[in-house]
Chain A
Amino acid sequence: MRRHRWLAVAFVVLSMTAAACGDSDDDSTVGGGQSTATTVSKPAFAAGTTMANLQAKGKLVIGTKFNQLGSGLKNPTNGQLEGFDIEIGKLIGVGIFGGTVDSLGSKVEFKEAVSAVREAVIQSGDVDLVIATYTINTARKTQVDFAGPYIVDGQDIMVKTDNTTIKTIADLNGKKVCTGEGSTTPANLTAKQVNADLTLFKTYPECAEALRQGRVEAVVTDRGILVGLVDASSRGFKLVGVNVSEEPLGIGLKKGDDAFRAFLNDRLDAIIASGEWKAAYEKTLGKLGLPTPTAPKPDRYAGTGTATTLAATTTVPPSTTTTR
């Protein structure tokens, strides 16, 4: 009898320890912090759909960027994930699990997905969705499907604050220009008949460093990324303020899952209508000084079957099929 009591005590202590440690693994889970959430009752999905499976599993895994201020950033001081992509991810989570953004807890898990691996992690099932400043384009649509766009970003030029020579896109001709590997910047510049000397790095902070050191004269990529770099440069950099391209950013998911895609588009419509989309923008990218844009309408294109089938239909005009 006595032995059993000790076992019971040991069990209680162990389970408390386990509970305390449960969330301390490296994969960041959603943290609280805001209390403006709208409560959604737990939705019911048809059996066998991806939504029903995720709800039953109690876990939605989202690939995102961990190094982009305003969009997806793992805050170095507290380890929390912050940004517009993160907020959209949580709101999608609410659409699957119900409740509020704050009540999600660890049901929505974010994993880092750098530009070059985004198709791969979707196809392998490592993540259920990719929300990582992911431009919708024709080439990518042959590998994955996209819900959204949930926002239309654009590309701009970032230069040193004292630069007076680069004022237009044409001024980039013959200049050393930095962008990220996997970016659509090279194609965008070609489309604008600009012949720049390109330097490519894995991440944009490296481009910023190269700009600071004078290795390159300009950095060209999506405005959402550049704003973060300007903000971190303590007035060392500025945006030129031109539209190099328009980037419709979408939510990447496994090719051919049309029911899941339709659900995601419905959810985007819902959060835009309820004002949650606007609130999410204002507390992330809006805080960096960007005016809140009009929310785009999700593009409900016809499904094109499984991966590697060439997409026959696309509603993205050719001139915008080129970005990071």
Chain B
Amino acid sequence: MDVVFDNLDLFLRGIRTTVSLTLTSYVVAFVIGMVVASFRVSPVPPLRLVGSFYVNTVRNTPLAVLMVLFFFALPDVGILYSAYISAIIVLSAYTGSFIAETIRAGINSVAKGQAEAARALGLTYPQVLRIVILPQALRAVIAPLGSIFIALIKNSALANLISVTELSGTAERLINDTAQPIPLFIAAALAYLVLTIPSGILLGRIERRFAIKR
């Protein structure tokens, strides 16, 4: 285990990168998810088409493929971002597609009569969504949104593919330097648990506080 304690500063830097990748990507993904979910339930057919095209392409492509494609292929058409920004864009886009579907499920769980009543009161469609539907929809899907957050913590490891040295990348590099895979992989696994388990507990609290009790 010495190899872990000797390199604690590198591990901490890796954990910081994982945390910043996860938090930034989740915020962006949430915005994407809200927009795409509203598209998918919109009364305007072209918007529905755009929404389902987005979800079906992004959600059904492996994250590793998206990551490498975005980083290596897009510069050939003039789009060149740093590795860190590329990782955030890809993680956000990918996670956004899952959040969109989750929110859509939440929207569908709100009784249809509520939207009809709100429309009858003279609210516009965006207002119906924002004021009446989404507050209830989101509270219904706190648990799955939390699972997506935890999945994102782990998915961020794929940023290592495009040279962002986050937690798992730190472990891999140290393994290459020291040839001691077992203590380093154990340390990386424990570090992920230190991030994911408290996230789970916190999400449970949020759920108990806000979830709709029926």
Contacts and interface: CB of A to CB of B under 8 A. Distances in A.
B163 interface: yes
Interface in A134-149: 139-140, 142-143
Interface residues of A, number: 22
Contact of A199 (B72, B75, B83, B181): B83
Nearest to B75: A213
- For B76, B83, B169, B179, the residue with the greatest tally of chain A CB atoms inside 10 Å of its CB is B179
Given A199-B163, A200-B163, A202-B161, A182 B176 contact: yes
Given A209-B72, A213-B75, A213-B80, A200 B173 contact: yes
Interface string B172-199: 1101111101000000000000000000
Contact of A139 (B80, B173, B178): B178
B81 to A, nearest CB: 10
A38 interface: no
- The main secondary structure of chain B at its interface with chain A is helix
Interface string A183-206: 100010000000000011110001
Contacts of A215: 75, 80, 83
Contacts of A201: 162-163
Interface residues of B, number: 18
A206 B72 contact: yes
A304 interface: no
Given A115-B176, A201-B162, 13 more contacts: A119-B179, A119-B181, A120-B181, A142-B179, A143-B179, A181-B176, A200-B163, A200-B165, A201-B163, A202-B161, A210-B163, A213-B72, A215-B83
Interface of A: 115-116, 119-120, 139-140, 142-143, 181-183, 187, 199-202, 206, 209-210, 213-215
